[in-house]
C-alpha cells in the first residue's frame, strides 16, 4: 500500500506517496509570488470568518509570507510525516490558545482551496484538487489534536 499519511480523525482518507509530486509541482506554481498567494488566502479567510482578522497584525505582509513559506515547507517535508505531524500539533495548540475554533479550520481549508484554484487555474484539475483535499484533511486532523 502506498498510503503514508493517514488522517487520524478522518477514516478512509489518506494521502498517498504518488500524490507528493503533484503537490510539490502545484505548490511551486502557486507560490511563485508567495505574498500574493498569502493575500488571496487571507482575503478569503477573513471574508468567510471576519472574527479571525483581529488575531492578525494590522499589516499582513509578514503573515502572508509566513503562511506561504509554511505551506511550502509542509509540502516539501512530506517524506517526513512524523516530524510534520508533531509540528502541526504544536501549532494547533498555539492556535487554540489564540481562540481558533473548530469551524475556523473548515473556513481555512475553503480559503486555501480557493487560493489554489485561482492561482493555478486549469492546472488545479480533479487529481490536484483531490491531492490537496487529502493533504488538508491530514493537516487539520493534526492541528485539531494539538
CA angle 134, 78, 146 (to 5 degrees): 70
- Total structural domains in the chain? 1
Q: Residue 14 corresponds to which cell in the numbers above?
A: 489518506
The residues, ordered by sequence, that sit 6+ positions from 60 with a Cβ below 8 Å of its Cβ are 38, 39, 42
Using alpha carbons only, give the angle 136, 96, 27 rounded to the nearest 5 degrees: 25
User: What is the chain's pLDDT, residue by residue, as a tens digit (146 residues)?
Assistant: 455 555 444 445 577 889 999 999 999 999 999 999 999 999 999 999 999 999 999 999 999 999 999 999 999 999 988 898 899 999 999 999 989 998 899 999 999 999 999 999 999 999 999 999 999 999 999 999 98
Distance CA 107, CA 80 (A): 27
The label of the residue with cell 482518507 reads: 13
For 10, the domain range is: 3-145
**C-alpha torsion angle, residues 94, 37, 34, 87 (rounded to 10):** 20
98: domain CATH number? 1.10.490.10
Longest Cα separation, the chain = 47
Helices (H), the chain: 20-30, 34-48, 61-76, 81-98, 102-120, 126-145
Amino acid at each position: 500500500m502506498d498510503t503514508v499519511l493517514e488522517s487520524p480523525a478522518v477514516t478512509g482518507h489518506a494521502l498517498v506517496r504518488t500524490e507528493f509530486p503533484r503537490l510539490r509541482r502545484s505548490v511551486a506554481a502557486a507560490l511563485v509570488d508567495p505574498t500574493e498567494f498569502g493575500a488571496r488566502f487571507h482575503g478569503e479567510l477573513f471574508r468567510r470568518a471576519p472574527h479571525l482578522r483581529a488575531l492578525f497584525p494590522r499589516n499582513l505582509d509578514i503573515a502572508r509570507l509566513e503562511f506561504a513559506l509554511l505551506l511550502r515547507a509542509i509540502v516539501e517535508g512530506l517524506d517526513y510525516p512524523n516530524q510534520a505531524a508533531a509540528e502541526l500539533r504544536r501549532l494547533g495548540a498555539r492556535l487554540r490558545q489564540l481562540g481558533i475554533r473548530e469551524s475556523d479550520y473548515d473556513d481555512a481549508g475553503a480559503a486555501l482551496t480557493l487560493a489554489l484554484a485561482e492561482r493555478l487555474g486549469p492546472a488545479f484539475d480533479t487529481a490536484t484538487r483531490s491531492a490537496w483535499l487529502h493533504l488538508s484533511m491530514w493537516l487539520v486532523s493534526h492541528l485539531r489534536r494539538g
